[in-house]
Amino acid sequence: MDKNFFCDGVDKAPQRSLFNALGMTKEEMDRPIVGIVSSYNEIVPGHMNIDKITEAVKLGVAMAGGTPIVFPAIAVCDGIAMGHQGMKYSLVTRDLIADSTECMALAHHFDALVMIPNCDKNVPGLLMAAARVNVPTVFVSGGPMLAGHVKGHKTSLSSMFEAVGSYNAGKFTLEDVEEFENNACPTCGSCSGMYTANSMNCLTEVLGMGLRGNGTIPAVYSERLKLAKHAGMAVMELLKKNIRPRDIMTEEAFKNAIAADMALGCSTNSMLHLPAIAHECGIELDLELVNEISERTPNLCHLAPAGPTYMEDLNEAGGVYAVLKELLDAGLINGDCMTATGKTVAENVKNAVNRDPKIIRPIDDPFMPNGGIAVLKGNLAPDTCVVKRSAVAPEMLKHEGPARVFDCEEDAIAAIRGGKIVEGDVVVIRYEGPKGGPGMREMLNPTSAIAGMGLGSSVALITDGRFSGATRGASIGHVSPEAALGGNIALVNEGDIIAIDINAHKIELKVSDEELENRRKNWTPREPKITTGYLAKYASLVTSANRGAVLEIKK
């Protein structure tokens, strides 16, 4: 096995003297040095067990002949950040994580990396860093939370938020809310439905950057520790074979990820993250491709919030590999893509079995004939917007109603809780995009309030911000161009009729082009909400949601 970069030569003696200061032996210096990127912290439930995962990875690396060295990555809990200024800092951490990990990895010339993420922006941020650094890399996440149990039924964080809406509607007592509060989130781990964190951890398996079970083995299972040890061993094999992230994350791998996304019913946030990760690999993902793949890829899973099943159920049914086997046998994915196992997708899933066709529907008996996410276009969103089709009530797949317009999330929530939103309305929340927010807040509070008040099958929400993976209903986000850039969403007036046809991929503001042009003449850009600190810097660099909200230096 190759030695590490610093082990030979007089010119590297100063660096070796600093390794001596770390207490490193010559034997350790003679081995490849593997950076272990630990996202452990004590505020995010999905990360509180990562210290144990980190120790298991270190052992796996050492067993396979490497020298593991740990350094940190940050992570924000979207649930704790929800509904206040903290949510402005969630999406922006994705790029901060990518930047800081790139800095650490290249400044210290690691021979290989093992990334240990778990939650929403932490996973894509580290995938972006892996593509930039491009040394042999394996991912192993902290794993999903077990489902909660309330009133004899499994439940999760989305039900907790909806319980608040039910209380505000007079349907729940304080005691009911407290029961959810104490039982919805029973263990460490990423929240138990197919929300953004679990979506991205599953897609990490599909992209080939994580080992089998990375997305589904529960955080509290000992199997997760075994997986971590195997990840440490696997990265040493990748180092021997010189297989790097950009060898794995190819254009075909991203097409596989989109197909699996459609089959699994992943979060709409994947439509921000997959283009951003692909961008770091030198691949531009056009969201038009999503509809093309979605139309031929059936939706096989209905995990929460779309249905009553959870990550532990998907794991027992055979996990991501069982879903990939269904897709591969139907010719819907490319089996030749290389993965972190050193084998192709086809070789990996050869013996995968669907153990529960109620959880993972067979390809010929899907929940829906098309995929879980739809990309819409029209005069309200000329550059696209997205919706989690698999979580929309059938009667809302086609809807027309009057716009109820709000210039921030807080005003919309006040109107919803105040009973001012009625059946048929289309709630429009604008100036919450990547630049206008800034930070493109996730809006689980308004969607949960609507669901909790029994309006989920009669009211639509549209925003240039984004929705949580825990959101269900006709919640259409990522409207591009956003209001802050003068997108047509900025020109919507109270009472304008908006028509939505999800299966036809259309969204239309029923206002003439002439009238929109007249309104534009009277529109003026809003002053930035925040002018100092990291958010101001982010707002000055961020691109539109349809491009993955990547940061771009203005030339």
Active site residues: 468
Single-letter amino acid code for the residue at 187 = T
Give φ, ψ of 387 to 5 degrees.
Answer: -145, 145
Residue linked to tokens 């100036």: 431
Nearest-angstrom CA–CA distance, 131 and 117: 15
CA dihedral of 253, 259, 263, 268, whole degrees rounded to 10? 90
Which residues, at least 6 apart from 549, have a Cβ–Cβ distance to it below 8 Å? 91, 272, 276, 434, 440, 542, 543
Nearest-angstrom CA–CA distance, 381 and 385: 6
Nearest to 46 by CA among 201, 274, 183: 201
Tell me the C-alpha to C-alpha distance, in Å, between residue 294 and each of 136, 265, 288, 333. Answer: 31, 11, 10, 12
- Contact between 413 and 404 (Cβ < 8 Å): no
331 alpha-carbon distance from chain centroid: 26
**Three-state DSSP class for residue 70:** strand
Nearest to 551 by CA among 249, 258, 275: 275
Number of alpha helices (DSSP H) and beta strands (DSSP E) in the chain: 21, 14
**Residue 19 tokens, joined:** 């390794």
**Three-state DSSP class for residue 521:** helix
CB atoms within 10 A of CB 18: 10
- Contact between 229 and 57 (Cβ < 8 Å): yes
CB atoms within 10 A of CB 13: 9
